[in-house]
Amino acid sequence: MLFALMDCNNFYVSCERAFNPTLEKKPVIVLSNNDGCIISRSSEAKQLSIPMGAPFYQWKAFCVKHQVQVFSSNYELYGDMSQRVMSLLTEFNHNTEIYSIDEAFLLLSTKTSFDELSKLRHTIKMCTGIPISIGVGSTKTLAKIANQMAKTLASGVFFHADQDDYLTRFSVDKIWGVGRRLAAKLNQLNIDTAQQLKDADPEIIRLHFNVTLEKTVRELKGTPCLTLESTQPRKQIISSRSFGKPVTALSDLEEAVSHYMSIAAKKLRSQQSAAQAVYVFLQTNVFKDRLPQYGNGATYPLSAPTSDTRDLISAAKACLRKIYRKTYQYNKAGVMLLDIAPAKTQQYDLLSPVLDDKSSRVMQTIDTINHHLGKNTLFIAAEGITRSWLIKSDKRSLRYTTRWGELPIVFC
Ligand SMILES: [Mg+2]
């Protein structure tokens, strides 16, 4: 068996370019929520030495000077594009583990050829506009290393990172799961490259470090210790955001919390689960330490497990009223769904109504309509209409693939 790691190149920037070809060959960056930090850079932006994760305000003037194209994050677009890439991958190979929004591991037969993977890469580029790199190795750790090599090649595909000459040039801190702190400790033991870690004695590494790093050593030697993990339904679902501006009114907080709950409830239903408790929290801006600070959270146990947005919003509002204090300027709130279990095997309270069929049909109808006609076509009135607390995203591109009103326009 062989492992492959597929990684989308500069994913958020590539999503922007897929719908706006004028961005090709130009420096482009994408910012995090509220336009805070730089979270994706095109290779041209990397060449200008714009650092990953830097606060945007420190680089704003520089970006203007160098004509860097700047975008607010458009997670609706990125999420949808990710799904398109992943579904093409799964079509190619059913043994796929989606590892993050832009990465997936594949389990390949040893007969898989370079040409097949090149073709897959071409298909994904043609169907979605997203460039990808594929690294192949006999373990997941080696596939990750091979992927970094693939990124530097025009072909975008690299087989077998176990070749010693390559591991000798690969610095130890870049290995999957090692990180800067562990690397510093390894450097003290004269282990600077992937090759040196590969040559280390796994038993000694376990004694000095831990069993996870021991596995990394074995994986570098070519013995698979990590297998493909199928996606498990989540035991806890969180939805939280910072606000676009400070919020003080209870009514605004209620809208925001209801909206976050509606997002969480949809996730809950999509994994066919129900929750038995709700947690809500709110927080003032800890970075503005001259202002009075307050943060609190509350839980609300539900009498029966549910995935009905309306019940979950009522519970969330009850939590919010317990913890809300006037006069503070809040900058963040969030909800969490707890005690999640499959919807079919729930235990019901003798005195409460069961998760009735009518409720699940209403929710199913809302989800189906929103799936076909775009997110938030139907929403619960408690989520608010003007939503003045929404995050800032002044520079966001259009949501080309999920909103009818924002479809790309082609001129003939
Ligand atoms: Mg990537």
Distances (CA, A) of 354 to 83, 123, 264, 275, 365: 34, 48, 21, 13, 19
Mean pLDDT computed over 104-125: 94
Banded pLDDT at 349 (limits 50, 70, 90): low
- Which residues, other chains included, contact 410 with Cβ-Cβ below 8 Å and sequence gap of 6+? none
Least confident of 97-106, 275-284, 335-344, 357-366: 335-344
- Which residues, other chains included, contact 287 with Cβ-Cβ below 8 Å and sequence gap of 6+? none
Asked if pLDDT for residue 212 goes beyond 70, the answer is: yes
Mean pLDDT computed over 263-287: 91
Mean pLDDT computed over 62-85: 92
For the chain, give the mean pLDDT: 90
Specify whether the backbone of 156 is left (phi greater than 0), alpha (psi in -120 to 50) or beta.
left
Secondary structure (3-state) at 188:
helix
pLDDT of residue 40: 94
Could you tell me the distance, in angstroms and rounded to a whole number, from the CA of residue 101 to the centre of ligand 1? 8
pLDDT of residue 191: 94
Could you tell me the distance, in angstroms and rounded to a whole number, from the CA of residue 10 to the centre of ligand 1? 5
Could you tell me the distance, in angstroms and rounded to a whole number, from the CA of residue 60 to the centre of ligand 1? 24
Burial of 109 (0-12, 13-18, 19+ CB in 10 A): exposed
Asked if pLDDT for residue 68 goes beyond 80, the answer is: yes
pLDDT of residue 360: 86
pLDDT (tens digit per residue) in 88-104: 998 998 888 888 889 99
Instruction: Provide the 8-state DSSP code for 34.
Output: G
* 199: phi then psi, degrees, rounded to nearest 5: -80, -10
pLDDT (tens digit per residue) in 9-26: 999 999 999 999 999 999
pLDDT of residue 344: 67
Instruction: Provide the 8-state DSSP code for 37.
Output: B
Residues β-bridged to residue 277 = 301, 338
pLDDT of residue 232: 64
pLDDT of residue 41: 96
Secondary structure (3-state) at 249:
coil
Q: What order of strands is seen across the sheet that includes strand 28-31?
A: 38-41, 28-31, 69-72
pLDDT (tens digit per residue) in 155-196: 999 987 567 788 999 999 999 989 888 999 999 999 999 999
Could you tell me the distance, in angstroms and rounded to a whole number, from the CA of residue 133 to the centre of ligand 1? 9
Could you tell me the distance, in angstroms and rounded to a whole number, from the CA of residue 119 to the centre of ligand 1? 19
Residues β-bridged to residue 108 = 2
pTM: 0.73
Asked if pLDDT for residue 50 goes beyond 80, the answer is: yes
**Cβ atoms within 10 Å of 374's Cβ, excluding its own:** 16
* Chain centroid offset of residue 232 CA: 16
Asked if pLDDT for residue 291 goes beyond 80, the answer is: yes
Mean pLDDT computed over 70-77: 90
Distance (Å, whole) CA 376 – CA 366: 9
Could you tell me the distance, in angstroms and rounded to a whole number, from the CA of residue 46 to the centre of ligand 1? 14
Mean pLDDT computed over 62-84: 92
Could you tell me the distance, in angstroms and rounded to a whole number, from the CA of residue 145 to the centre of ligand 1? 13
Query: For the chain, how many residues are written?
Result: 412
Could you tell me the distance, in angstroms and rounded to a whole number, from the CA of residue 130 to the centre of ligand 1? 11
Burial of 391 (0-12, 13-18, 19+ CB in 10 A): middle
Could you tell me the distance, in angstroms and rounded to a whole number, from the CA of residue 6 to the centre of ligand 1? 9
